[in-house]
Amino acid sequence: MNEKYGSETRAEPRKFNTFQNRGAVLLAVLFTLMLIVASGANAFDKQQDDPVLVLNDSGGNVRHRLREIAGIRERGQQVQIGGQHCLSSCTMYLVLDATCVSPETAFGFHGPSFHGRQLSNTDFEYWSQVIADHYPEPIKSWYMREGRQRLDGFYRISGADLIQMGVRSCLV
């Protein structure tokens, strides 16, 4: 007897069919996953048609940018570069045929480094070539001749100048 409450109560344990409950939970989880996959596929299809808007991109890790560019290429997306600037690895989007630039955007080019620190000669040559391979001519030749030599700051080229060099304009 439970002295505190003055009565003895025993709740009978509820008996559940464990297999039936697990089956219901499994079905609920599978249904939820199917909804997620279905909505993800629709989102992917929509993404494929939508252009990638690049605005005020300050660059970043070249390896990460290579993966982004590969995904954009695989999905067949257009890249529209605008805003005030596209710096460093952002300029690598120029490799994509479906990239267009705003004449007002400033593009900043510099040589490869590791967080601002100089690379070994071998690494410098390798990463310079990787980056240059993501530029159309004549930008590629200029980069290998001159642009990669700058490790402090940027060589700034306007979108209007890039358009004169053959890069597509986003203005129609």
pLDDT, tens only, 81-129: 999 999 999 999 999 999 999 999 999 999 999 988 899 999 999 999 9
Does 23 share its domain with 99?
Answer: no
Please indicate, yes or no, if residue 4 is contained in any of the structural domains: no
Is 85 found in the same domain as 162?
A: yes
Is residue 94 exposed (0-12), middle (13-18) or buried (19+ Cβ within 10 Å)? buried
What's the structural domain count of the chain?
A: 2
Q: Do 128 and 100 belong together in one domain? A: yes
Does residue 102 form part of some domain? Answer: yes
pTM: 0.71
User: Residues 154, 97: one domain?
Assistant: yes
User: Which structural domain, as residue segments, surrounds residue 40?
Assistant: 17-49
Residue 43 in domain: yes
H or E element in which residue 160 lies: helix 159-164
118 falls within a domain: yes
Give the distance from CA 141 to its chain's centroid. 26
pLDDT tens digit sequence for 144-158: 999 999 999 999 999
Is residue 137 assigned to a domain? yes
Beta bridge partners of 145: none
